[in-house]
Amino acid sequence: MANQYRDASGKRLTDYPRPSVAVDTAVLTVPTGGGLSVLQVCDATDGDWRLPGTFVHEGERLASAALRSLSDKAGVTGLAPTQLHVFDDPARDDRGWVLSVAHLDVVPFAALSSLNPSQARLVSVDTATGMVHGHDDIVAFAVASLRASYAAAPDPRGLLAEPFTMSELRHVHEAVRGERLLPDSFRRAMLPLLVDTGSRAAAGPGKPATRYRRA
């Protein structure tokens, strides 16, 4: 048996106290006609609604744990969450010293349109509060990160299928940012970042609207 590692003080790694490691995922989307929303799951034991998350198993990678929690607890597969931030306040979780590696995924509503309502649901980010284990802080961080990315680029997370009209693009940005945007100002900011597809959308009376794709 190989000699176990010891540091300069003669201690082994197992001699130091260690936190439990969890992954928690904020999955954000914009339902049809709605505002920015987050995926919640119903805890099988306590019956409350929270972010999908789990403790990391021995020998398991963080990405695998995140996907496992989404599949097992939300019934959702095919997502690709990425690491968002590490929440390491020792007092953040009332179960004990739990370090959370938070993940984020931003997906079109169609990817979450068939949720089992007894298992998972979508709620507005404005009302997703009072969650256990510091999940409110994770949602707030995820929303702030997403909104920052939508400040200067046209739908960078692909919530809207291409091609789209300027009006459709503005509505998605309004949903993500949680505020009304001036149509003329928004158009001037976005046009240099879009490509005219040459197609038009007839959405009622008036001149057909130009359809764009991201440059």
Pick 207 or 177 by higher pLDDT.
Answer: 177
What CATH number corresponds to the domain at position 112? Answer: 3.90.79.10
Domain of 191 in residue numbering reads as: 164-214
pLDDT digits (tens, 9 = 90+) for 63-80: 999 999 999 999 999 999
Q: For residues 46 and 124, state if they share a domain.
A: yes
Residue 203 phi/psi, 5° resolution? -120, 60
The whole-number pLDDT of residue 66 equals 98
Q: Which tokens is 93 given?
A: 């979780």
What DSSP string runs through 45-109?
TT--EE--EEEPPTT--HHHHHHHHIIIII---S---EEEEEE--TTS-TTSSEEEEEEEEE--G
Residues 94 and 142 in one domain: yes
Q: Are 68 and 52 in contact (CB under 8 A)?
A: no
Of 149, 184, 203, the residue that ends a domain is: 149
Residue 32 shares a structural domain with residue 123: yes
> Quick one: pLDDT at residue 87?
97
What is the per-residue pLDDT across 106-136, written as a single tens digit (0 to 9) for each?
A: 999 999 988 999 999 999 999 999 999 999 9
Whole-model pTM: value is 0.92
> What pLDDT digit, counting tens, does each position of 129-183 carry?
999 999 999 999 999 999 999 999 999 999 999 999 999 999 999 999 999 999 9
